[in-house]
A and B are shown apart, each in its own frame.
Chain A
Amino acid sequence: CTDKDFDDVNRGLNQLDETKPVYLLNATLKKTYVSDAGFGNTVCGEWIHHVSRLNTLQYEYEDFSASSTGLWDGVYLMNSDFGDVLRRTENTEDANEQSVRALTLIGKALAFSRLTDVYGDVPYFTASTFVDGEVVEKTPYDSQEAIYKDLLAKLEEAVSLLEGKAVLDMTGADRVYQGDLMKWKRFANSLRFRLAMRLSNVAPDLAADVISDVQGLDLIDSEENSAIWENSTDIGYENPMYGDLQSGNRAYTGGQLVNFLKDNEDPRLAVMAMTVRDTDEFNGFPNGAESVNDLDDYSYIGEQTYEKWVPTPVFLYSEMCFLKAEAYLRGIGMAKDETMANEWYRKGVESSLNYWSYQWIDRGRVPEAQPKYGEAEIEAFMAKDIATLSGTTEEKYRQIMEQKWVSLFCNHFEAYAEGRRSGYPEIKQRQAVEDGLNYNLGETNGVMPRRVKYPVKQGTFNPEYYQQAIDKTDGNSFLYRVWWDNK
């Protein structure tokens, strides 16, 4: 009574049974740079006062571990693709497959560094693994230290796999480097620099080792080597910030950022914020305010940050410059040298001004990208005191980190991580009433959270290990500091 073709009937016309590793890699790129970015935007971006949105739990410093788990779920779901590729390319001799493996290792390092930076210890080594053909559902939380070390090792492996390779055909899916493997190698080395610097307070020796190791290697050394994900107007490929506009809860530019830019007469203000309706004024939104009289009295984020075509910065040359400035200033992995620090600081500032002017964008393709300011404004800004390091070492350090904070607009994960690590910019404790406005104090009594709470769903699906992790983080506290956040 059984038709021989029952299996075929059930298969469906659109079912895909097999695939190539490179196609999986392609999808992970899109997920990392498009899908995951949303969480950074709505959590990290608000906490570090880049943006602001009324009436969300994260905005109120309230527990959102039951609802907003986009990053957690996104990274782990993508990890099944990472795992799939890494298992299939282990010890491969095929040059293309080696490249696919290398890029997958880089992707995994970037994704998991974001994840652990936000949460602290997370399941890592057992995530998306199988035992006797059964998927592992109960996964222990691995220490951030172990994870970081493994990520650094993964990047090292990626760099060595990319040795001597030029291009990889990724069917056009590589919107960062268009398959240019030499650029990917620069990105991988720069990522090692970034991760090492993150550990500079907690594991200074390891940090110094890695930084001294990579500083002589190919790094992102110019704006054209910056890692930038190109968004487009195609459905599903829009700038993740664009979704905001559609969701009904539009983002405003954070009050602290607007004031900082205003104080320094920074031309980037015109890009990062819109003028208040019917005026020429910029008015940043006071992060945490309970309610305001009229939302239209505040500056929405600038259209050149939320429009569909606006690219997503992943690792800009300016960031590399600020990392080097910090390494010279603090003498990490290289000899202390405040002149070099200033030189790299100025390069960083200038490069960031360049980036946000969008002068580099092909305006034949993106006509909306008309610069809001030009060379003259950049030159003028570079001539200001703010563009040169001055004062004590700590003051110089603050200058570097605050400029880095501005330059990391739309790179919310990194901005939040570096803000915590360095203490700059200073995010003040909210008071119940300030300047006639009521503020949400939330669970932390107005103190900026130091991490994101583990998703409560872990309590349902992975209860024992979840409990251990809860116990270790003072009851899943917002104020528990992740391993590298020890300053």
Chain B
Amino acid sequence: FLATGLSPNLANAKEKDGLVTISAKAKTLKSVLESIEKQTGYEFFHNSTVINTKTVVSLDLKNAPLEQVLDTILTPRNLSYKIKGDRIVITPKSKAPQQDKKVKISGKVLDSDGEEIPGANIRVRGNADLGTITDFEGNFTLMAPMGSVLEFSYVGFSNEEMQVDGPMSDLKVSLTEDVTELGEVVVTALGIKREKKALGYAVTEVKSSEITNTGETNVVNGLQGKVAGLSIGNTSAGSNGSQSVVLRGNSSIAGNNQALIVVDGVIYDSGDFGQGNSAEGFDRGSGISDINPEDIESVTVLKGANAAALYGAKAATGVLVITTKKRLRDKGIGLSYKGGVTLNDAYVFPDLQNVYGQGKAGSSKVGFYDGVAEDGIPVIGGGTKDESWGPKMEGQDVHVAWLRGNPIRKYSPQEDNYKDIFRTGVRVDHNVSMSYGSDKATYYLSFLNQESSEYVPNSEWSKTGVSLRVTQDVTDRFSIDGKLNFVEQSARNRMSTGYGPSAYTQLAKGPRSFYDSDLRNYKYGPSGKDWGNKYFADGEQVIWSTTSYIGNPYWALYQNSNSDKRRRLVGSFKLNYKIFESLNASLRHSFDQTDFENHAAFSEGSRWGAQEGRYEFKEGYRKTSTTDLLISGQKDLLGGDFTIGGTAGASQYRRSSHTSSFVGRGFKMSDLNTINNTKEQATTYGDSDEVVNSIFASLQLSYQNIYFLEATGRSDWSSTLSEENRRFDYPSVTGSIVFSEFIEDQSILSFGKFRASWAEVGNGTQAGVINQSYNLIQSPNGEILVTNDDVLAFEGLLPERMTSLEIGADLRFFNGLATLDATYYNAVTKNQILPRKQISTVSGYRYRVVNGGEVRNRGIELMLGLNPITTDNFSWRINAAYNKAKSEVLDLDGQDSFVLGGGKYAHTALVEGEPFPIIRGVSFKRDDDGNVMVDSKGIPMRSDDPNVHLGKVEPDWTGSLTNTVSYKGLTLSAQIDVSMGGNIISNTNVSYDEQGNSVASLNGRQEWIESEEARRAAGSPSDWVPTGGVDLWVGNSVFEDGTANSGDNAYYANPYKFWDGMRKIGEHVIEDASYVKFRQLSLTYRLPKRLVEKTPFQSIDFSVVGRNLWILYRETEHYDPELYRSTTATNTYGIEKGYWPASRSFNFNVKVRL
């Protein structure tokens, strides 16, 4: 049975004596033959097994005779041909006698960097028995028949072929990393490996080294800027706080927007353990930081529902598929050690003035002392006088009234008093990995230890982890894969986030004249004296204000304490059975359990609700388990033109959690902060449980390796929905075409693929949401108090649906010199479950559970790669990512808006037809001509409408640019991240202004003080018009009666009142969140072979990495605008509420391999 030719005869084009001109670079044999057919009019016939569809040919012949051409391309491939009439029949060469003559070939297989590749495959075409693999040093030796063809291959590299013309030794075969994508394999949903070429949706793979080279302890931070459409947010809670990981923007109004993390096919709990975005909260970090980056082999980012449809409900927000290492080397023992030191420094400080010191502006007293003591020396501070509206600091003597004994201090600028608390944080990492590999088994064991001190004193954390992974082929058909990972993390004295008394904002809001040395001595020692003021009593906190929300951060770090600890055990066990060569079944069970405990003790005398002392303790566990059964197979049909593959499976996912929270108030004995020492105690318990059972299947078809089609279907049964709505089904279809196959000349476009996909994903809700129940109220003495829940449940809740359309193209130009991956997506999430839709409380309920709300997310993602220079010793690579996303709230179930978070003057809200979310609030009051109106005192007026549209949170676009230059063993890489557009509600800015601390608050202050002195000298006339003061609105505003605030009518405002007025205008409170950040500069050096050879090691690498080095551009006055996404909750998205300064780090590493 002869397969038909590749193209029909062209009768009028037969020129059998014709010469052939052909130029091909890494083109498939098929397409070359096709080209010959077109030129000559001959038709090729061959048996389908004869021509390997992956065989690639490179040749360049001009006007060559047909026979020469055919000899050139077919003979080395062990093929012969016969021309019969119009037809050329290709057959495998019959075993010629000389083929029996074997010769010895030996050499090394190397990668493009000259590194040996262990485990590379060498095959003798047509004779599988003769093949071999390279050893640890990349060496191979084999006997191959004369005239046979050797194929060298290794995963991730393009194949090389070589004809055996005689014995050879010291052969060096270089494999280049696959840039044509022909063989690139990526891990997709459910851990299924697929050829990237065949995928109909965007995936981005990030290799282990790209993550570990960042020196980040957390894998997601290492991904920053490397994937278009992925946005990572960090809190300012030190170097081990929690992360937000969002792909393609927020889509869920009330639910989860965080990407799903899957490790080796198992859903990984990446939730946080308390983000503490309110007063006196602590960010306890999130589960994602439990993964040791050194264990990771690769991370594949599946950005949308399209890629993730097989994972079901939880993957609608995208997935990070993490694959861990099975071994370091293919065979034998592998050992590596990596040690590192990371230094961490605060560097984005607020912009504060150093002219005026402590003083209360209260009743028109800008520039005044707070009195004069009996000795004639002026007094500053005392009571609630915490501002910097006092006189000029000129080194004069003053009594400090907020310190015990009112000591005398030089009244001079304490330029660094808001920086002195910082030190250099130091993190020390040790990582040891060991592996053993054989033909049948792999063993991988790693050990991680990290000890870190934060950039504030007395604050530290540590992490220890052990990973073990074993794979074993028990028989030819049966194999097992088991994994256990244990991690313990603990932290002590995390910095308080938010705006509480011990947060950084309070320190930077402190008077510009306070001495750090006065504050550092945070507690009044024993004196046995009555100081006539309870704030000076023994054991009291030393702080400049009696206001209860202001505290001393040193007190928080030394006198109070907080700690947390968590232990996590993750395990998975997989049995794999090869039923037939092309049909595989696997059964896997995995579990993931984290036990955690959080402590926070506030000593007696703490501020804000903890005056009498308080102890908070929370402990619990979270666990998930998944069991799945998977059957998958693949089969070539129609002589290899068609490939059909499929997967079918069933799974059960279970998640449960339990917490018990304790609050103890007041301590029986002072200075003993323990649970048992608390006076009044209350404990609450919480639990939840959820099960999702699923069946799913996928079908993949490909034709001639050019056309690809995949369809998936999944049905879920979720315990969170009622019986009628429990089951929901959803499909996806994706397809792609490698259109470059149709292009004759591939010298410009060497590879081109177009892809399109459509997917739908359903989602259940949270445990217990559909049940109406009563609440039991805490009661101390056994009273029974029960109340109706304030949420009206809805039993008939339907699952959420996300429908997503995605199209894109993968283009590679000039044989890999330039690559472009472009994607457009449009996802609509409807039927959104709003577990807390607000209703009129008159109904007796505060919220109702409803299905409603629709959000659309659209965007363009581009990833561009350039390799302008590649020589043996030198290379330059440029990677760029660009992402433009636009969300739109389409429907809010009849409500015109949905407030998410924020305060009186500016808040974030969802509004129909607007991005998710917008910022609304009080604007400047303007007249009909748009002029800002000021009141009679020159202070801007507020709009009557408190819901003026002021901005949006979402950036217009984000991007990153990475340049990597390598020279021999030296690699230098620089990454710049950009985010343009979008706003942030900036709460601390306005408090620095109002407090008189910011540089901005200096405007007109001297002139105002002079004017006030003149007014008093003139006997304080009631019709006095200030001669100077804040002039920011002079000349560009109008008074209420319409007269311009300029010239003779100009009114210079009292600086204190001006800034107090400005803080109430949301339009002023928001800032542009754009930034350009120098994310990373890294230098890595691999010791040259000749030096390493003298050591017992195989390789030695050094690296120096600087992270977040500079903000090259920002609009925010006092802080790093990246804080706009500082927690995972949508109700804090875009709101800055107090922060610690952003930090930069320098990471020094050495890695040795044995």
Question: Shortest distance in angstroms between B685's beta carbon and chain A's nearest beta carbon?
Answer: 6
Question: Shortest distance in angstroms between A5's beta carbon and chain B's nearest beta carbon?
Answer: 9
List A contacts of B259 (CB < 8 A). Answer: none
Contact size range, A: 35 or more
Let me know if A201 is at the binding interface, CB within 8 A: no
When the two chains form their complex, are residues B363 and A293 in contact, meaning their CB atoms are under 8 A apart?
yes
Let me know if A95 is at the binding interface, CB within 8 A: no
Cβ contact of B770, chosen from A10, A436, A457, cutoff 8 A: A10
A27-B720 Cα distance, complex, nearest whole Å: 29
List B contacts of A173 (CB < 8 A). Answer: 779, 783-785
Cβ contact of A24, chosen from B533, B548, B723, B786, cutoff 8 A: B786
List B contacts of A78 (CB < 8 A). Answer: 787
When the two chains form their complex, are residues A23 and B383 in contact, meaning their CB atoms are under 8 A apart?
no
Question: Shortest distance in angstroms between A296's beta carbon and chain B's nearest beta carbon?
Answer: 4
When the two chains form their complex, are residues A137 and B839 in contact, meaning their CB atoms are under 8 A apart?
yes
Near A by CB (< 8 A), chain B positions 744-797 give 767-768, 770-771, 773-788, 790, 792
Q: Mark A413-435, 1 if CB is under 8 A from B, else 0.
A: 00000000000000000000000
Residues of B contacting A: mostly: loop
Near B by CB (< 8 A), chain A positions 45-100 give 66-67, 69, 72-73, 76-81, 83-84
Question: Shortest distance in angstroms between B835's beta carbon and chain A's nearest beta carbon?
Answer: 14
A27-B788 Cα distance, complex, nearest whole Å: 10
When the two chains form their complex, are residues A10 and B720 in contact, meaning their CB atoms are under 8 A apart?
yes
List B contacts of A11 (CB < 8 A). Answer: 768, 771
When the two chains form their complex, are residues B781 and A172 in contact, meaning their CB atoms are under 8 A apart?
yes
A437-B727 Cα distance, complex, nearest whole Å: 68
A247-B362 Cα distance, complex, nearest whole Å: 22
Let me know if A392 is at the binding interface, CB within 8 A: no
When the two chains form their complex, are residues B363 and A291 in contact, meaning their CB atoms are under 8 A apart?
yes
A173-B792 Cα distance, complex, nearest whole Å: 26
When the two chains form their complex, are residues A23 and B784 in contact, meaning their CB atoms are under 8 A apart?
yes
When the two chains form their complex, are residues B843 and A139 in contact, meaning their CB atoms are under 8 A apart?
yes
A297-B790 Cα distance, complex, nearest whole Å: 43
Write the chain B residue with the least CB distance to A294. Answer: B383
List B contacts of A30 (CB < 8 A). Answer: 777, 785
A23-B383 Cα distance, complex, nearest whole Å: 47
Chain B: residues with Cβ within 8 Å of the partner, total of: 79
When the two chains form their complex, are residues A235 and B680 in contact, meaning their CB atoms are under 8 A apart?
yes
Write the chain B residue with the least CB distance to A11. Answer: B771
Cβ contact of B790, chosen from A6, A77, A137, A462, cutoff 8 A: A77
Question: Shortest distance in angstroms between B531's beta carbon and chain A's nearest beta carbon?
Answer: 10
When the two chains form their complex, are residues B841 and A1 in contact, meaning their CB atoms are under 8 A apart?
no
Let me know if A383 is at the binding interface, CB within 8 A: no
Let me know if B856 is at the binding interface, CB within 8 A: no
Q: Mark A9-38, 1 if CB is under 8 A from B, else 0.
A: 111111111111001101110110000000
A6-B679 Cα distance, complex, nearest whole Å: 42
Let me know if B682 is at the binding interface, CB within 8 A: yes
Let me know if A277 is at the binding interface, CB within 8 A: yes
Write the chain B residue with the least CB distance to A28. Answer: B787
Q: Mark B828-856, 1 if CB is under 8 A from A, else 0.
A: 00000000001111111110100000000
Write the chain A residue with the least CB distance to B550. Answer: A248
Cβ contact of A294, chosen from B360, B609, B771, cutoff 8 A: B360
Near B by CB (< 8 A), chain A positions 243-266 give 245-248, 250
When the two chains form their complex, are residues B844 and A83 in contact, meaning their CB atoms are under 8 A apart?
yes
List B contacts of A462 (CB < 8 A). Answer: 840, 842
Question: Shortest distance in angstroms between A360's beta carbon and chain B's nearest beta carbon?
Answer: 22
List A contacts of B382 (CB < 8 A). Answer: 294, 296
Let me know if A458 is at the binding interface, CB within 8 A: yes
A1-B839 Cα distance, complex, nearest whole Å: 36
Write the chain B residue with the least CB distance to A437. Answer: B363
List B contacts of A39 (CB < 8 A). Answer: none
Let me know if A153 is at the binding interface, CB within 8 A: no
When the two chains form their complex, are residues B693 and A3 in contact, meaning their CB atoms are under 8 A apart?
yes
Let me know if A236 is at the binding interface, CB within 8 A: yes
When the two chains form their complex, are residues A295 and B781 in contact, meaning their CB atoms are under 8 A apart?
no
Write the chain A residue with the least CB distance to B778. Answer: A236
A24-B546 Cα distance, complex, nearest whole Å: 42
Contact of A123 with B774 at beta-carbon distance under 8 Å, contacts A3-B691, A80-B788, A294-B383 already known:
no
When the two chains form their complex, are residues B841 and A73 in contact, meaning their CB atoms are under 8 A apart?
yes
Write the chain B residue with the least CB distance to A462. Answer: B840
When the two chains form their complex, are residues A19 and B786 in contact, meaning their CB atoms are under 8 A apart?
yes
List A contacts of B60 (CB < 8 A). Answer: none
Question: Shortest distance in angstroms between B762's beta carbon and chain A's nearest beta carbon?
Answer: 15
List A contacts of B726 (CB < 8 A). Answer: 2, 6
Question: Shortest distance in angstroms between B106's beta carbon and chain A's nearest beta carbon?
Answer: 58
Contact of A77 with B846 at beta-carbon distance under 8 Å, contacts A173-B784, A438-B363 already known:
yes
A269-B723 Cα distance, complex, nearest whole Å: 65
Q: Which residues of A contact B (CB under 8 A)?
A: 1-3, 6-7, 9-20, 23-24, 26-28, 30-31, 66-67, 69, 72-73, 76-81, 83-84, 123, 127-128, 135-139, 170-173, 232-237, 245-248, 250, 277-278, 291-297, 436-438, 457-458, 460-462
23 contacts between A and B (CB under 8 A): A2-B723, A2-B726, A6-B691, A6-B726, A12-B771, A13-B687, A15-B773, A31-B787, A66-B904, A66-B946, A80-B843, A127-B842, A127-B843, A137-B840, A233-B680, A235-B680, A246-B609, A248-B549, A277-B383, A293-B363, A296-B382, A458-B840, A462-B842
Which 10 A-B pairs give the minimum distances between C-beta atoms? A80-B844, A128-B844, A461-B840, A234-B780, A296-B383, A23-B786, A173-B783, A27-B785, A248-B548, A246-B609
